[in-house]
């Protein structure tokens, strides 16, 4: 190959190489221009984000108040200390230094470390809360030696009425992993360390209303993560304030009157269905759950045989016993299976299908009509009505009065109770309904189950003749919650008058089963019905030698005592239902409590002794003085037992 040819080839190679280098340079130059000019703002923002943090501001949780504005659930100032993992470096070393300033046990340090590992590095985790101002100040002063430690002033939930409203209002607690897992689209605010949400009761059922929306703030931090300044702040939206229909002072009286019994009571306004009181005893202090209940305290609540954590007023399902008889009487009159003047003979028992069904009164009641059947609570009369009616007509009437219905109220685990019929037994047990099942159902035993709330609704419907729906939320942010008037229940006025007359005889005639618990104040008279429901079968041998008295049996084998009532008799305004677990007879265990609650509701204060029979006033006066009612509000709305 000649020299000219070689030189030509080399020249071509040089041109190609030069062109490639030039192209590369142009591309780099264009890219550099893009980075420095066109994308400058983007990278400036990224650099800015390295020194500016955006943090959520927890919203103020909405207040819960009673019908008169008394605070049931509020917020109090809470000094807390938190740590951010990405700013702390050696987390355990920082926490050990912190432990020299505040009381921080090794087990608490371990828990914080575990919590930090579960969360993103930039998310603050609470180390301690409700610390004293002295400890809070000491940590703030020593902040330069505690990288990643933050001092914060927040709020925490407080329940001024404590045990009185625990089962209705409920309580809040820190968000758990379980809470996050069951939410499809969890609110970012739930990631805030130990952010509190409703766990039970109104707090849980109205969580979305009460929680509010989080705000945010932008803060500038230095290289070690220390806050230099706050750049801007956007306040969140506070949660809605909720007003309940409860009367806190009445609720306090009811809770105190139930005392140490395992019991429940519900008071309803007959005119509109407002729940004025809903108490379950014994109760618990919800403030302990907010602050962190001890293992010992929680174990004591779980193992207590009276089940203080259970809201018996809406969760407890009990055989209604003879409190169901007014409904069966209404069904019999409406179906025309008995004439108001007709009587049924009660010899003390009846034999049906080869089985003997006993009346509570061993010697029987003789000839009994509708009024006397309620006045003296004759079982044989209702065994006869059961055979004439059949279970289907009894069940239909019971449902019209609110039994077997789970009312949509913002409380936890509201039970539907049970109004059985033939189809139910076939589905549940695969067996046919027996005539004996109907006889038991007619006296509120067997498969029938009701809650104290349902019994109060039933009584309110009997008193008003309207299909009242119970209401617990009165207003939200001052706006009344719509509650349309209840329609007529569809039972004729003449039938309701017959039933009410029998209930009046229970409380206000000498042979009535609740005569000793009558109200004597003129215009305040109460009409009611006693009930006793068995929790055990009475054997043939026991009947032969005489049935054991309730007081001779272990507590858990005694009968439940029940009582329902409305007052005033002539113009009903309030309905009350009381259930005393294993309290014995309704006339002795439940009726006296119900009378005191009714009088407190009617008078709006501790009832005067003049409303009681004269022979009882000394004993009643001493009892009322011993009730540990709450004192008037003190500082910050807190109340204490007198």
Q: What positions carry a catalytic annotation?
A: 322
| Residue 358: partners with Cβ closer than 8 Å, 6 or more residues away | 348, 349, 379, 543
Q: What b/e sequence results for 432-464 when a residue is b if at least 16 CB atoms lie within 10 Å of its CB, and e otherwise?
A: ebbebbbbbbbbbbbbbbbbbbbbbbbbbbbbb
How many Cβ atoms from other residues are within 10 Å of residue 603's Cβ?
A: 13
Q: Decide if 272 contacts 248 (C-beta within 8 A).
A: no
Output the CA torsion sign for 143, 146, 150, 152. Answer: negative
Q: Decide if 88 contacts 94 (C-beta within 8 A).
A: yes
Query: Among 499, 534, 463, which Cα is nearest to 385's?
Result: 499
Concatenated DSSP letters of 498-557: HHHHHHHHHHHSTTSTTGGG---STT---EEEEEEE-SSPPPHHHHHH-PPPGGGS-GGG
Q: How far is CA 485 from CA 120, 397, 489, 502, 516, in A?
A: 53, 21, 12, 27, 36
Copy the structure tokens of residue 504.
């009046």
5: helix, coil or strand?
helix
- The whole-angstrom separation of Cα 71 and Cα 243 is 9
| Residue 356: partners with Cβ closer than 8 Å, 6 or more residues away | 349, 350
Q: How far is CA 628 from CA 185, 261, 273, in A?
A: 46, 15, 29
Angle at 399 between CA 496 and CA 388, to 5 degrees: 70
Alpha helices (runs of H) in 336-405, residue ranges in sequence order: 370-375, 379-389, 391-400
What's the start-to-end Cα distance of the chain, in Å? 120
How many Cβ atoms from other residues are within 10 Å of residue 269's Cβ?
A: 21
- The whole-angstrom separation of Cα 542 and Cα 309 is 35
Q: Tell me the angle at which helices 325-335 and 493-508 cross, rounded to the nearest 10 degrees.
A: 150
- Torsion, Cα of 265, 269, 275, 279 (10° steps): -20
- The whole-angstrom separation of Cα 426 and Cα 405 is 20
Concatenated DSSP letters of 388-407: HH-HHHHHHHHHHTTTT---
Query: Among 170, 160, 93, 156, which Cα is nearest to 128's?
Result: 156
Q: What is the DSSP letter of 435?
A: H
Q: Cα-flanking dihedrals φ and ψ of residue 334, to 5°?
A: -65, -40
Residue matched to tokens 């609540």: 301
Residue matched to tokens 């104040």: 521
């Amino acid at each position: 190959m000649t020299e000219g040819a070689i030189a030509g080839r080399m020249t071509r190679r040089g041109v190609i190489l030069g062109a490639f280098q030039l192209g590369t340079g142009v591309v780099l130059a264009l890219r550099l221009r893009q980075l420095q000019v066109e994308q400058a703002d983007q990278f400036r923002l990224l650099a800015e984000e390295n020194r500016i943090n955006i943090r959520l501001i927890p919203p103020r949780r909405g207040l819960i108040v009673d019908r008169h504005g008394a605070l049931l659930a509020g917020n109090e100032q809470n000094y807390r200390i938190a740590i951010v993992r990405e700013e702390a470096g050696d987390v355990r070393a920082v926490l050990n230094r912190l432990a020299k300033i505040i009381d921080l046990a090794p087990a608490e340090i371990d828990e914080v470390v575990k919590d930090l590992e579960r969360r993103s590095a930039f998310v603050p985790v609470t180390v301690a809360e409700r610390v004293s101002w002295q400890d809070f100040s000491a940590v703030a002063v020593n902040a330069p030696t505690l990288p990643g430690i933050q001092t914060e002033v927040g709020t925490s939930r407080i329940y001024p009425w404590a045990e009185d409203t625990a089962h209705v209002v409920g309580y809040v607690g820190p968000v758990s992993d379980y809470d996050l897992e069951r939410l499809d689209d969890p609110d970012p605010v739930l990631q805030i360390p130990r952010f509190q949400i409703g766990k039970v009761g109104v707090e849980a059922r109205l969580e979305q209303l009460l929680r509010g929306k989080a705000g945010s703030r932008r803060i500038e931090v230095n290289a070690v993560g220390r806050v230099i300044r706050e750049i801007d702040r956007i306040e969140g939206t506070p949660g809605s304030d909720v007003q309940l229909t409860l009367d806190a002072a009445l609720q306090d009286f009811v809770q105190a009157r139930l005392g140490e019994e395992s019991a429940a009571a519900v008071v309803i306004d007959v005119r509109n269905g407002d729940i004025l009181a809903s108490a379950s005893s014994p109760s618990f202090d919800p403030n302990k759950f907010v602050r962190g209940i001890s293992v010992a305290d929680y174990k004591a609540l779980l193992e207590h045989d009276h089940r203080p954590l259970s809201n018996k007023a809406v969760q407890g399902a009990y055989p209604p016993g003879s409190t169901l008889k007014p409904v069966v009487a209404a069904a019999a009159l409406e179906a025309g299976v008995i004439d108001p003047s007709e009587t049924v003979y009660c010899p003390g028992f009846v034999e049906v299908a080869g089985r003997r069904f006993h009346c509570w009164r061993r010697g029987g009641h003789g000839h009994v009509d509708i009024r006397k059947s309620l006045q003296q609570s004759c079982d044989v009369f209702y065994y006869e009505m059961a055979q004439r009616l059949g279970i289907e007509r009894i069940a239909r009437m019971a449902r019209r009065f609110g039994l077997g219905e789970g009312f949509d109220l913002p409380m936890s685990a509201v039970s539907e109770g049970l109004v059985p019929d033939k189809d139910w037994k076939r589905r549940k047990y695969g067996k046919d309904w027996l005539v004996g099942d109907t006889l038991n159902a007619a006296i509120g035993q067997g498969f029938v189950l009701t809650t104290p709330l349902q019994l109060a609704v039933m009584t309110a419907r009997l008193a008003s003749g309207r299909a009242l729906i119970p209401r617990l939320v009165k207003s939200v942010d001052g706006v009344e919650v719509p509650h349309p008037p209840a329609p007529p229940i569809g039972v004729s006025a003449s039938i309701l008058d017959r039933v009410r007359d029998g209930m009046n005889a229970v409380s206000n005639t000498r042979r009535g089963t609740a005569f000793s618990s009558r109200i004597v104040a003129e215009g305040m008279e109460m009409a009611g019905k006693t009930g006793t429901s068995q929790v055990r079968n009475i054997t043939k041998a026991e009947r032969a030698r005489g049935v054991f008295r309730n007081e001779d049996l272990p507590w858990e084998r005694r009968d439940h005592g029940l009582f329902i009532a409305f007052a005033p008799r002539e113009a009903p305004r309030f309905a009350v239902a009381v259930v005393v677990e294993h309290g014995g007879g309704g006339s002795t265990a439940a009726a006296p409590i119900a009378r005191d609650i009714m009088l407190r509701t009617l008078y709006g204060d501790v009832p005067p002794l003049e409303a009681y029979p004269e022979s009882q006033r000394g004993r009643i006066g001493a009892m009322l003085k011993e009730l540990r009612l709450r004192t008037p509000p003190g500082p910050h709305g807190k109340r204490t037992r007198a």
